[in-house]
Structures are given as structure tokens and as C-alpha cells.
Amino acid sequence: MIAGQSNISRLANTPAKAITPFFAYAAISFAIACLMLIFSAEALLRHYLNPEIIAITHVLTLGWVTMIIFGAVNQLLPVLIESGIYSIKLIFITFAFSSVAIPMLVYSFYNFNMGNLAMFSALLLLTSIFIFLVNIALSIYRSKTENIHAIFVFTSAIWLLVTGVTGFLQVYNFSEVLLSNNSFYYLPFHAFSGICGWFLLLVIGIGSRLIPMFLISKYSNHKLLWTIFILINSGMVIFVFFFLKSFKTFWYFLPLSLVFIAVIMFGYFCLQSFKQRIRKVVEPQLKISLISVASIAIPVILISCLIAITNNLHFELKLISLYGFIVFFVCLSLLILGMTFKTLPFIIWNKEYGKLAGKFQTPTPKEIYSNNIFNVMIVIYCFAIFAFTTGLIFSIIEIIQIAASLMFISSVLYNFNVFKLIFHKAKIS
Amino acid sequence: MNVLSNNNIKSETGINALKEVMDPEIGLNIVDLGLVYELNFDEENKTVNLLMTLTTQYCPMGESICNSAKNKLETAFEGYIANVELVFDPPWTFESLSEEGRRFLGRI
């Protein structure tokens, strides 16, 4: 080992200005989705194929979850591939396109007008997904490091593109006949590729890198991760095949079982990382994220029940509402609420104090947002989850409205902390 | 923790300065984390050369940790230029943690 010139510059992170717009957009979308829920509580108890539910679902899936994932992936990919992002300009273009497309698409769904505005926004959104995918692919290709986590991220982005293409065709199919069935027929395909292919693969790909890193765990098991990867993707491909060939419902147990085994295996991976951690004290942000990971098994069980019960429409609809609620508000939102404060404070701290550290007394990343507000936010959110689930199970609109109001309060607190971070300016002493 | 140096007297001052450089995520200083490998002094060119690692390559906080180490060393040794070089061979392992570090993380 010979000391030489400084080589710090090669560590350059993705600039904060390219990442923070995604966080800001996602935070606002989350608040909007919660607000929409308060006024659409009654719609939740009807058939899920109604404009309000479709609009809220897309505010959540696109505005909240996908936007924050876009930002997080562009920030975390360098850690996964040990190399920088291919193009910062492409990150800005992805943001510009998707941030314009999402409100237009949601507005079209809400009014159920699948005309030119819907078609244009679907095309714009698909373009932004494609640009995101190209940027990721080129970043991984340039890094030339074979890495299971990066392969998870890349494959999840491919499934996002599949989801986007399906959604795009569904929108166009309302005006011009492009598909052999009506647009709603393809909804399970669109939802499964989005939830399982995009969200689940991405959560496992990034989580399997970050969870051991934050816990400072000795545990590593690439063989297990490869098995999980193969199981989920096999499940996805089999699902697509069965769907396109119109197989009977019970056949779907096969792909679902593969996904379920993969989820259990990932749970085992997290448990081992937790057991073999060096850092004894686990921060609340990470605890919340681990709970949300454990909850991934619930929607898989709910879907299994849905396949098993084919002759009770009322029960089926209830299960679907519960499934959607748990996927978005428990598995994904809880994970995001926790992980935002394990990533954004560090992004901002790096921007504001990265060059000043060591010269002056600087606050720590944990000191630049309010931990008390974070704790209150989580407590309110947990109450909201409990109330919402109760309201959905017993079909009580008033309880759903109270739960949605609690969620909205929680989202306002989340926004407070996110914008406190985004607008933070260096304070040195 | 075993930091190599060509000047044991000066290196003590340097290591004390580096003990003020924290990994912002873990909250532990880089010396007790076992990130510091070598601290050498070039009296002719008035440079202090730090050879160190990170817990992971492309650690999101890597740039600020290195900048902080550079700033601390230049403050501790006035008139010297600090060079920070990162190496990942040998990589950082859990065994690199000092006893103090293990105690901080609740493992002793």
C-alpha cells in the first residue's frame, strides 16, 4: 500500500439537485392521495373498477411510490454498482416527463376520459420509463461489475416497462381497438407486473444491499439472492404465459407459490442479517422498514385466498380492497416512510456539509430533520393502518374516513420533515 | 486498530485529529471504525499522506468522510497539505473495528 495523490473525486455521488425533486414530488403526491381517500371512502366499498379508485391508485403507484423509487435508485445505484450514474441529464428528463404525465393521467382517470389527454400522458410516461431504464442499463454496463443487486434493479425496471407498455395499450384500447379483449381484462396483468415485477424485485434488490449495510451485518448470501431472483422471475413469466393462454384460475397457485417461497426466503435473509448484525441498537427508521418487509407475506396470502374463493363476489371485492390497501399503505408506504429518513438526510448533509466537514462543527444528518415529528408521524400512521383495515373488513365508511384523515395528518408531518430537509441550508459554528 | 506510519511521534497527533472524523451514518470515528491504514509524512514537500478505506466502495458518505479527514489533518499540521488516498485492498471487515468501536456498537 503506497500513499499518493488524493483520489476522493472518483467517489462523486449523484448531485442532490437531481434527486430531491423526486422526493418533493412523491411527498406531495402522498398527501394528495391521502386527501383523495378521505373524500372517496365510499368508493372503496364499491367495485374497485371505478374512476376514483383507479385515480387514487395511480397517484399512489406513480406519484408516490414510483417517483420516490426513481429518486432513490438514481441515488443508490452508484452504491450498488460501485460506479456513477451514466447521465445526470437523463435523470432530469425522466423527472420532467413523468412529473407532467402523472397529473394528466390521474385527471383523465378521475373523469374517466380516455381521450387525447390520457393517450398523450400515457405516451409521455412510457417515454420517461424508457429513459429511466436506458440510464440504468448504461450505468450498469459502464460499471462492468457483476452484481446481483444491480441485476435485481435492472430486471425490475424491465418489468416496469412491461407494466408501462400494458398500461399504454390499455389506455389506447379505449379509443382504438388494439387488444383482443377490453382494457379491463388486462388489469390483473398490469397490476401483477407492476406490483411483483417492479416493486417487489426492486425492494428485494435494494433491500438486500441496504439492510445489511445499515445494520452493519456480516451476513451475505448471494446464492440465496439468486434463488429468490429466479423464483420471482419464473413466477412472473409463468403468470404471463397462463394469462395469455387464459388458463383456469387455480393454475395461478403455481406462480404465486414461487413468489411466496421467494418472499419467505427474503424474510430469512433479513432475519439472518438482523441476527448477525454488529450494530446492536436498531434505529426506528430501520425497524419500520423491517416490519414493512415482513408484511410482504400478507398480500401474497390474500391473493391465494382470492384464487381459492371464486364464488363469492362480495368477499372477493373485499379481499381485493384489502390486498390493494396492504400493498400500498403497509408494504410500500411504511417502507418509504422509514427509508426516506435513512437516505434524504444524508443526501442533503452531503450537499450542505460535505466540503465543510472537519473544518467547522457541523450537525449530524439525523439533526437536520425533526425526529420527534418522525415518531409522531409513525404512531399516527400505525393507528391509521389499524383503523383502515377495520373499516375495510367491516365496511364502515366513517371509520375509513377517520383512518384516511389520520393518514393525511401523517402525510402532512412527512411533508414537513421532507421539505425541512430539502430547504435546509448549512449552519456552522 | 494498527495504523502504520513513518513518523510515530507525529502520527499520534494525526490519529487524534482523525478521531474527530465521524462516519455520519454510524456515528463512530474513522480510527475506531478501522478505516485508517497508514499515515505518512513527507517533510521535504510538507505533505501528510493518509491511506484509508471505506466500509463499502462508493459509500454515499465517502466523499465527505475523506474531505473531513483532509481538513482535520491540515488543521492539525499547519503548513502541510494533506493527501487522502482510498484503497479497497485489503477491504474493510468487521474485524477492523477497534475495541472502542465494538463497545460503541454495543458488541462488548
Q: What's the mean per-residue pLDDT of chain A? A: 89
Which numeric CATH code is attached to B8-104?
A: 3.30.300.130
Give the number of domains in chain A: 1
CA distance B33 to chain A (A): 11
Answer yes or no: do A1 and B37 touch at CB < 8 A: yes
pLDDT higher than threshold 90 for residue B55 = no
Among A223-227, A282-286, A391-395, B73-77, whose mean pLDDT is lowest? A282-286
pLDDT 10s digits, A45-77: 777 778 899 999 999 999 999 999 999 999 988
pLDDT score at A337: 94
Nearest CB among B71, B83, B87 relative to A357 is that of B71
pLDDT at A1: 42
Q: What is the mean pLDDT of residues A370-391?
A: 95
CB A106 within 8 A of CB A55: yes
Any idea of the CA torsion for A123, A127, A133, A138, to the nearest 10 degrees? 160
- Point out the residue among B21, B85, B106 whose CB comes nearest to the CB of A281: B106
Per-domain residue ranges of chain B:
8-104
Q: All 3 cell numbers of residue A80?
A: 450498488
Per-residue confidence (pLDDT) for residue A285, from 0 to 100? 84
Mean pLDDT value of segment B63-89:
91
What average pLDDT does this structure show over A353-377?
88
Is A182 part of a structural domain of the chain? yes
The three cell numbers of residue A369 are: 430533520
* Residue among A1, A344, A362 with most chain B CBs within 10 A, to mutate: A1
How many beta-carbon pairs below 8 A join chains A and B?
113
Instruction: Determine the residue of chain A that is closest to B26 in CA distance.
Output: A214
Specify the residue for cell string 411527498.
Answer: A27
Mean pLDDT of A282-307: 86
3-state secondary structure of A391: helix
**How many CA atoms lie less than 13 Å away from A215 in the CB half-sphere?**
23
Q: Tell me chain B's radius of gyration from C-alpha atoms.
A: 13
CATH of the domain at A283: 1.20.210.10
If you measure CA to CA, which chain A residue comes closest to B51? A3
A5 pLDDT higher than 50: no
**What sign results for the dihedral spanned by CA atoms A291, A59, A201, A70?**
negative
- Residues of chain A that touch chain B, judged by Cβ-Cβ distance less than 8 Å: 1-8, 11-13, 75-76, 78-79, 81-83, 213-214, 216, 218, 278-281, 346-347, 349-350, 353-355, 357-359, 364-365
Domain that holds residue A79: 15-349+362-422
Q: What is the pLDDT of residue A3?
A: 38
CA atoms within 13 A on the CB side of A260: 13
Domain-located, residue A209: yes
Within-domain flag for A357 = no
pLDDT of residue A2: 39
Lowest mean pLDDT among A27-36, A293-302, A308-317, B83-92: A308-317
Q: Which long-range contacts (CB under 8 A, 24 or more apart) does A57-60 make?
A: A57/A324, A57/A328, A58/A102, A58/A105, A58/A106, A58/A109, A59/A29, A59/A32, A59/A33, A59/A102, A59/A106, A60/A29, A60/A30, A60/A33, A60/A328, A60/A333
Using CB atoms, which residue from A2, A281, A350 is nearest to B63?
A: A350
Which residues pair with residue B51 across a beta bridge?
B38, B85
Q: In whole angstroms, give the CA distance from residue A136 to residue A198.
A: 14
Report chain A residues whose CB lies below 8 A from the CB of B37. 1
Q: Categorize the per-residue pLDDT at B61 as very low, low, confident or very high, splitting at 50, 70 and 90.
A: confident
Backbone angles phi, psi at B2, to 5 degrees: -140, 95
